[in-house]
Chains A and B, each alone.
Chain A
């Protein structure tokens, strides 16, 4: 008799849990304005990607065309598939010392897997992930980018 009662209870419990599930999906169905999917080319003008989205590696420059890259090459070492190439040159500081600075921070977008390791490894926070994802170009040589802008220099106060 006890097991029979348990059997009856299990039927109603099962039905109840099924109804809970149907309530969840029903809420989704009857609130279509909350849909996640967006129609891409139509909404291009007002599309805002999330901050976490990894579209490309960029180097931030301030208003005075200064970046924070010291040319240390840690990102190059950390990149698992060699997408980053650092070409450094030496320059004289004000005290007359020789110092290594960045000449070209070359980034091969076509090889990048957007793993974020370079951004994590960068000791000065010079490179970050950008949100742009429209990378189609006519020629793959255009996918090789120099991240530091021409004429830019390292900003004051960046410790090596």
Chain B
């Protein structure tokens, strides 16, 4: 069972064959589920910790501070210490809260994130779900999370939570439109909704280069709307500290709060991952037309490394404008969506269709 760092197709295929040889098909499938689920859990937990650390360090650097420096070298163990603290905290239930909804809300949020993360291709053969309607599936499941947020706000028996949840709902529902439309622009260009096909189509040039102007506009719109959809700053008015304490998760403590917190960072990863896959070529290396030697050097870097380099690039941009711009007011947020992003998006789709029809692309 050779381990190829450039193509995981054989690796996963061999695991599948090996399991089917030694177990019954039912048991083999169950074990595969467990393996996939465990690896996603591990990945999400570790990546979440890493992202929280990165966010604190990046934020500190933008504000001319140092960030966490005390726990471990350069504060590397800070998030682990925070996580252990969160695990040990008491779970507090507000009086007269709706017990069932209150308990189920964090799980809905995190399950939606897990569903969405499953379609992202990390490397060739390293993608657990490869639907032919991948983009459609992604937009569908990523909007399930808003139900969890609304439930959390509703069941907490707290006016801050309810207002925060309502704001969050209004915001996510509006920005879902922009996310889908900008993805649709790229679907028009790629001619497929399947993520693996979309990535394969970027072998010679990433879509943001080959699609030129409409692709760049779609990328900007996607990053802005995606940030809004993950409830991150400057669109974090759902948890505006100065007016709503912590918004929909005010009443949550311990591990349930950790779920919301983790879900926010997974969503950040998903948005960056989708932006990477659809616009920046996914795990494809950077290729320039006919520079054979350059392309060969780029091929030498494994696809997983390419994918994560691009993801961290997009995450850095999102963090950059989170820590630069002030928070928008609720009417400004809806103005931005309905009066600016949506018309731009619709015009952009037309432009993209025109580009595709006239074959005016690289």
Contact = CB atoms under 8 A, between A and B. Distances in A.
Nearest to A31: B64
B324 A37 contact: no
A35 B325 contact: no
A32 B61 CA distance: 6
Interface residues of A, number: 15
Contacts of A34: 64
A11 B320 CA distance: 20
A36 B65 contact: yes
Interface string B324-361: 11000000000000001000100000000000000000
Nearest to A30: B61
Contacts of B325: 18, 21
Contacts of A11: 340, 344
Given A18-B321, A18-B325, A22-B324, A29 B61 contact: yes
Nearest to A35: B64
Nearest to A20: B324
Contacts of B69: 39
- Secondary structure at the A interface, as helix, strand, loop or mixed, is helix
Interface residues of B, number: 16
A24 B324 contact: yes
A35 B60 CA distance: 9
A1 to B, nearest CB: 16
A16 interface: no
Given A11-B340, A32-B61, A37 B321 contact: no
Contacts of B61: 28-29, 32, 35
A28 B320 contact: no
Given A34-B64, A39-B66, 10 more contacts: A11-B340, A18-B321, A25-B323, A28-B61, A28-B64, A29-B58, A29-B61, A29-B320, A35-B65, A35-B66
